[in-house]
Structure 1
């Protein structure tokens, strides 16, 4: 089996209608569908299939640079013009009108495909067929963009023009391009530098002898249509130092290499060698994964999962400490384009991203990395862009840490890692029992965990508009206590293994008390489901939300089994959609059917009905606990994801979706826990229920 056998193809004809403004974020045409390639460091390349730049995050090289720089836009775009022997000028790809200053005819996009998750474009017109390929060598801030003339009457002259705007990848667009840029040329090596602390952008043409024509140019009023629809600044500038010009024969290829690495690294491998190495790497990824997911849509998600696993750039002290102990630093990018690594997302995603895919060593790296980050009994909620220190404002990420370790041990049996982390877990339980930061702690009255501090959003429902926390959930949240019970039962077992029955009894007693209180206090006999929050600022919250599903889905379910079926059936009826679960049931006064508009409008809808793809994983787990023989029914719950792989970001799964048909994808176009939990659910529904 070879990775190239996993291919997704999309065909277009000239004149494909653009999306409406209302659906500017994610439509079904090449102007709004997107692609993503990553480099294992947190850097990436991304854009629309058409070539139109519609987000501030669209570019051909976003380098992951050491703190305090963070991810940085280095190569924004690359335009290509073709000059035939009779003097006619053509533009390859026609979605960027501001690049077509010569009114050149267009060689149109005819086909886009993903080969082993890597993008390939095919352009046809004027008797010529061009192919474009793009990849980032793993572990490098380098991009290779290759053009091949597949068909034509003879050699043609092509011109490649790079466009830049050095800036933080999430930075403002409405500021003038940094400058002045300085161009340095030594033989075939070109370096473009700015007066900032950024490394230079190094450019080189491989595969053909190229001339460079210095023609300093600026493009003003570049409009980013998705940024505009989301209420952000949406007009920026590009700068170009000139054009590469070369002759390309039929069947000939030429590659523009752009990088912030040293020349020795850039030239260590040719483009052909880089391509072969990446194909081999992806084949190894495919063969390492569980057999149940090596074909069809799950196989595509193996490559999607790979995009989120990174060695974080710039955390020098962390890397030194890890290597001293024989480890490597690994973490998970929560979502592209704007998320960094988040503790909660990492722990929820760990099984799907690393264990189902056979990347057990990296799973161990991640767990041991985060064990070092624990402070005050908490793991970090997130690491801000360009920072080495994490933020700890989370009540659930630390409890998901127990779950992730349990899944890791189930797959690997690695008791050495358990022995290494167990003292940290003991410290976590003690901090929670005494009480720790942000009001997180066990209530001695009932043994349940309460949490909350003014101005902080501590659960996964974490939207905040200015100082307004949309779903504060201060009090005792249902999923926090399901996770707490699961953690106590795991600690009871792990401590028994290492220290004996007597030492484990306190964890067992705490679990028994939490379970009794949970079933007494969270269950609503009148409504037949679990309250979302008790002992809150406004008392009890009886909103019907998906958070109650964790009381069934976790390996140690806290809810009385007699109540499982009623909840699962109601969740199926009221919250389930083909692409995940609604975050709030229709009919509630706060229910929002659509996630759209400026930041305030979006955040007000974020957890008030909006569908979350990652919730499909725990729902499948709960379904199979209630209906253990219904593997076919559980698999049918995932029916919306294969067609979604053609939407938003090709080959990946979005963060969220509108709450009503057609369930338009929204938010991040590629989200770690969405990919991870759907991939895990595919594996779960392919084998006997356990």
Structure 2
């Protein structure tokens, strides 16, 4: 449970930098900040996923409460920022507190003796939000709830230059664009553009920060005494299928969520049900499904949390995407891409962990032909120069303009860290995969011996890449951790080298992607997309790396002291961020809620 008082809620430099997320289990969500200010284009109370979790639309942007006090004075409790920087209204200054209870956000405003509480939940398994307002003190008061709406791509903006959203009256409320429905007490139609709503985080990220929103109308209720409530529901999909009362949805969410540990609840957000079966959202609010992220996260998300049944279905479905021995990486870009040298090897690792953990030999037999096909295609060679070198059994990869490892950022189409050649992490995964196939024992023995001979560098750590276009690359990066942490790792860790890595790379939020002081190091991860991408894997901290780091030390009988728990109340509440800046104080960046960050920390906590 995360709790913040008026000193945090009432200051936008504090309350607007902490975000909450309530997923619907389908890839959509409600999301915002402690202060109530929408700081991202992605913030809203009803964000709806399409067939692909990445294809989301923003519907209900906000539901602005306005109290009419016994004196007749109206008080606006919402907070908005406008294109000129003005903050109006300033409802955050009336917040007495915010609490995240069982993963659900709860606000409390106080105006003298009048206390109003708001709580919301999503209805698990369908795109439906339930918002409950409850009078806790004072009264009687009038409450109006202004529906601020749009219907647009989650990654874009909609402005008044185009047509206004089509709003149609229905029983208990309205439909918007025929895409979603709002229902609550005594709806009164309005209809006006709100021009120039600003999102400060998009401005910080070098993206378009302003959009226009549509004031569709307002719901109205009288709260005469403490305990009285006003409820509003919003949903997409089958608009005739009215969800249960909002209080029932909120109560059901509390009952379900409180059965989960904090990290298990964080993990739960990323497992979604799509029309094709279970899948994983790589990160909120802008990622969809990425196979590398999914397979790297598999053990933490599915096996550690006891969801092997869903995981089994996911593995089978992903196996059907194999082409020329490669797993489809993502369809976030609009087309299915096969542009990863390690995602498929992580898939083999996930299948192995599933079978080893559950004893599901039926799945092993079902997938074995496909998995053998992966090995055979890699031996013969497949896309992007991915092939086994017959001279040493190691896997090489690379093609012009491509970045095929997890360090895949590009600026103007040029890879920042191409890592072309024989990358240490890719080959650790390759040897880890070969260990599971007795038919390839000779190749496994050759590759393992070659790894032990080729990768140690004179500097005392492992090369990041060998046989690259410019020879061997000994840049101090964390990728070598996989050489000691995987179940069938090619090497046994040594305390000295792990201490060296820890001294150079370890931070409270994870490990840096490159050591400070090395050529090309970036300690800040901010600015325009190009500036952020340039730093993405050249110094930026990645929490997911805590998993292999802790595992390597665990193999030596040493348990790593973790600091990440303190982060659960700093950025994405109850969760772990995608990245953080390499330089102290290691400000969190990227997605506030990231699957592999949570999954690897969760997995490592059960070592």
Shorter-chain TM-score: what band?
A: over 0.9
**Given that residues 134 and 146 in structure 1 are in contact (C-alpha distance below 8 angstroms), is that contact kept between their aligned partners in structure 2?**
yes
Secondary structure at the aligned position of 1:556 is classed as: coil
2:606 corresponds in structure 1 to 683
Aligned ranges for residues 587-602 of structure 1 at < 5 Å? 587-602=517-532
Measure the CA separation in 2 of the matches of 1:400 and 1:100: 48
1:165 corresponds in structure 2 to 150
Aligned ranges for residues 91-110 of structure 1 at < 5 Å? 91-94=76-79, 108-110=94-96
**Given that residues 67 and 74 in structure 2 are in contact (C-alpha distance below 8 angstroms), is that contact kept between their aligned partners in structure 1?**
yes
Per-residue deviation, 1:365: 1.5
Aligned ranges for residues 238-249 of structure 1 at < 5 Å? 238-249=213-224
Q: Which runs of 5+ in 2 are unaligned?
A: none
Per-residue deviation, 1:532: 0.5
1:300 corresponds in structure 2 to 262
Measure the CA separation in 1 of the matches of 2:19 and 2:27: 18
2:126 corresponds in structure 1 to 140
Aligned ranges for residues 71-470 of structure 1 at < 5 Å? 71-94=56-79, 108-152=94-138, 154-172=139-157, 175-176=159-160, 178-193=162-177, 199-205=178-184, 210-249=185-224, 250-267=226-243, 269-284=244-259, 286=260, 299-313=261-275, 319=276, 329-384=277-332, 387=334, 390-470=336-416
Per-residue deviation, 1:542: 1.1
**Given that residues 130 and 250 in structure 2 are in contact (C-alpha distance below 8 angstroms), is that contact kept between their aligned partners in structure 1?**
no
Find out whether 1:666 has 2:598 as its counterpart: no
The Cα offsets for residues 372-424 of structure 1, whole Å up to 9 and x where unpaired, read as: 11111011111216x5x521100000001111112212321111111111111
Q: What's the TM-score once normalised by structure 1's chain length?
A: 0.84
Secondary structure at the aligned position of 1:406 is classed as: helix
Change (3 A) 1:379 1:177: farther
Change (3 A) 1:69 1:177: farther
**Given that residues 135 and 143 in structure 1 are in contact (C-alpha distance below 8 angstroms), is that contact kept between their aligned partners in structure 2?**
yes
Q: What's the TM-score once normalised by structure 2's chain length?
A: 0.95
2:427 corresponds in structure 1 to 481
1:656 corresponds in structure 2 to 579
1:296 corresponds in structure 2 to none
The Cα offsets for residues 622-670 of structure 1, whole Å up to 9 and x where unpaired, read as: 01112x1x33xx2x1x12x121111111101000111122110001111
**Given that residues 91 and 107 in structure 1 are in contact (C-alpha distance below 8 angstroms), is that contact kept between their aligned partners in structure 2?**
no
Which of 4, 12, 36 lines up with 1:10 in the alignment?
4
The Cα offsets for residues 231-254 of structure 1, whole Å up to 9 and x where unpaired, read as: 111111011122222212221111
Which of 10, 33, 45 lines up with 1:48 in the alignment?
33
Which of 549, 563, 574 lines up with 1:619 in the alignment?
549
Measure the CA separation in 1 of the matches of 2:286 and 2:90: 35
Change (3 A) 1:178 1:310: farther
The Cα offsets for residues 273-312 of structure 1, whole Å up to 9 and x where unpaired, read as: 323332333245x2xxxxxxxxxxxx21111111100112
The Cα offsets for residues 497-551 of structure 1, whole Å up to 9 and x where unpaired, read as: xxxxxxx3xx111110001111111112x21111101111111111011011111
Change (3 A) 1:31 1:545: same
Q: What do you get for the CA RMSD once the two structures are aligned?
A: 2.1
Measure the CA separation in 2 of the matches of 1:85 and 1:149: 13
2:21 corresponds in structure 1 to 36
**Given that residues 42 and 310 in structure 1 are in contact (C-alpha distance below 8 angstroms), is that contact kept between their aligned partners in structure 2?**
yes
**Given that residues 374 and 380 in structure 1 are in contact (C-alpha distance below 8 angstroms), is that contact kept between their aligned partners in structure 2?**
yes
Which of 34, 47, 57 lines up with 1:62 in the alignment?
47
Q: Which runs of 5+ in 1 are unaligned?
A: 1-6, 20-28, 194-198, 287-298, 314-318, 320-328, 493-503, 685-690
1:552 corresponds in structure 2 to 484
Per-residue deviation, 1:101: 11
Q: In the comparison of the two structures, how many residue pairs are matched?
A: 605
Secondary structure at the aligned position of 1:394 is classed as: coil
Measure the CA separation in 2 of the matches of 1:453 and 1:107: 55
Secondary structure at the aligned position of 2:604 is classed as: helix
